[in-house]
Structure 1
Amino acid sequence: MAVDLASSWCATDLGMYRPCRYTYERYPLESVPSVLDALGGFRWLGDRGQRNADNVDLLTRLEMNLAAVGVALPNDFAQFYSWNGWAAELDTVSVTGCWTRLRPLPTFSPVEPGAFLVRFMSDQQDCVTWYLYLRRREPAIVVHAYGLDLDYDDDDEDFGVIYRCASSFEEFAYRFWVENRIWRHLHDPDAGPLPPRLAAYLAHYAQLPS
């Protein structure tokens, strides 16, 4: 039986609409707006550009290593990182210095036998790291954690805890992309009105009781 992971969305503020006490805060997953209607083939992104040969090679090796342990790489993840026009989009939009960190080897889940982690992004100080969480005969999900890549103990109760944050990679990528674009817009004194896609997302918070 699969372990029931705790859930939360880890992110920074959205201006006055969603305050954040630190660089990041964990928000209940049920408190963030649904994005499912926006998903499907990364149509919210621009041109995918040319194939990224280095990433394709790394992903091929990763897929072989995952096949050896009986799990598979989700198609949306492989598609996103296979094209130059998409692969760096999360790095570019990040306001907290997050960057892509792909590797060809999975890691055993420390909380569930038979489950595997594939790291794909960390923030610049390794405060938070995001992973694919892969199980046999189960859809891939995205999780985040503080401390899994580090080799020392920490007194923080969240150190090493794995949190489910998205039911698919595209869901994670879209929410991350939208929220970081909103942050940039809200903190730019010269920005005009929010684009409709961003305004629709932020409207969820504007309607919440204060």
Structure 2
Amino acid sequence: RPTNATYAANDYRSLPPVPAEWIFRFEDWYGRTAAEVPPGGRQPDNEDEDEDYAEMRAIAEEDRQNAIPRLSAAANDLGLKLPDVFARFFMDDRHAGFFRSVTDCYFNLPERIVPAPECPEAGLIRFYSDSQGCLHWYLYLTPEGDECVVTSGAHLGGSWVMRQMAERSNWRYEDEEDEPGRDFAFCAPSFAEFILRTWLENMAWYSLHAQYAGPVETRGAQAPEVAAYLGHYRSRR
């Protein structure tokens, strides 16, 4: 899709369809692929990391272990329920270790659930962010059990990791909280489809730019699902 920016909006209906069976098999397929990543996810490039960075990694790992129980309890208090696939995905550190982002996005669970603008009974859970804060992606949940993924430039929900770093460093932590009234855009009807499509889009890029691919990217780009995904566009030429 032609674009002159890092991110661009496209009509959801114009995107390559993600077959229901891919989504249904998502955990099994993704779990087998992620099994090739060692426990602990992606290992640091620099074994001689400084003390501050090592401390931040330790706090981030603590947050990874505690975030889902914390958010699950908060969801229950709000009359919401975390989707099982969402909870299982973030409880397994191999998934984050295997995931790749051409635009340097990363998984980023919040400190708390935020009421959705204009629909306060629904909740927003930030889970994925651009490293420069251009966009953040949220799981949108309703009391009826519906879900979808939306995106916005607004950073909502705070950061447990940054709060812990602030307390240990004796500096004042303040949420970099934007006004929740900023626009949100629909991305996917479910968390599973969003993860699958995001993975496919990134692996498709690596299949077209093999010179930038490492071992994990090369294996991912060779998946038949990637070729089928790209076929949507090749068939229109």
TM-score range, shorter chain: 0.7 to 0.9
Q: Is the 8 A contact 2:123 2:140 kept in 1?
A: yes
The match for 2:74 is: 65
List structure 1 runs of 4+ shifted beyond 6 angstroms: 190-193
Alignment pair present for 1:198 and 2:226: yes
CA gap of 1:203–1:142, structure 2 versus 1, over 3 A, is same
| Alignment deviations for residues 13-52 of structure 1 (CA, whole Å, 9 cap, x no partner) | xxxxx21210111111001112122113422222457697
**Corresponding residue for residue 20 of structure 1:** 3
After TM superposition, the structure 1 stretch with the greater mean CA deviation from structure 2, 23-32 or 142-151, is 142-151
Shift of 1:89: 3.3
Paired letter, 2:145: E
Q: Does the CA contact (< 8 Å) of 1:65 and 1:104 recur in 2? A: no
Aligned residues: 185
Consecutive unaligned residues of structure 2, counting only runs of 5 or more, are 41-60, 157-175
Give the Cα separation in 2 of the matches to 1:151 and 1:47. 33
Partner of 1:3: none
Residue 33 of structure 1: SS of its match in structure 2? coil
Larger CA Rg, structure 1 vs 2:
2
Partner of 1:4: none
Corresponding letter in the other structure for 2:27: F
C-alpha displacement of 1:87: 3.0
Shift of residue 165 of structure 1? 1.1
TM-score under structure 2 normalisation?
0.69
So what's the TM-score if we normalise by structure 1? Answer: 0.78
Do the aligned partners of residues 140 and 88 (structure 1) sit closer, same or farther apart at CA in structure 2, a change above 3 Å counting? farther
Q: In 2, distance between residues paired with 1:27 and 1:97?
A: 20
2:177 is equivalent to residue 170 of structure 1: no
User: Residue 34 of structure 1 corresponds to which residue in structure 2?
Assistant: 17
User: Going by fraction, where is helix more abundant, 1 or 2?
Assistant: 2
In structure 2, the CA distance between the partners of 1:43 and 1:152, relative to structure 1 (3 Å rule), is closer
Percent same amino acid at aligned positions?
33
* 2:131 aligned counterpart, secondary structure: coil
What is the aligned partner in structure 2 of residue 75 from structure 1? 84
Distance 1:94 1:47 in 2: 15
Q: Distance in 1 between matches of 2:212 and 2:96?
A: 28
Maintained 8 Å contact 1:106/1:118: yes
Provide the residue aligned with 2:147 in structure 1: 140
Structure 1: gaps (5+ residues): 1-17, 154-158
Alignment partners' CA distance in 1, 2:104 and 2:120:
32
Higher deviation after alignment, 190-199 or 65-74: 190-199
Deviation of the 1:55 alpha carbon: 2.3
Maintained 8 Å contact 2:150/2:188: yes
TM superposition shift of 1:194: 4.7
Give the structure, 1 or 2, with the largest relative contact order (CA under 8 Å, sep 6 or more): 1
1:138 CA drift (Å): 3.1
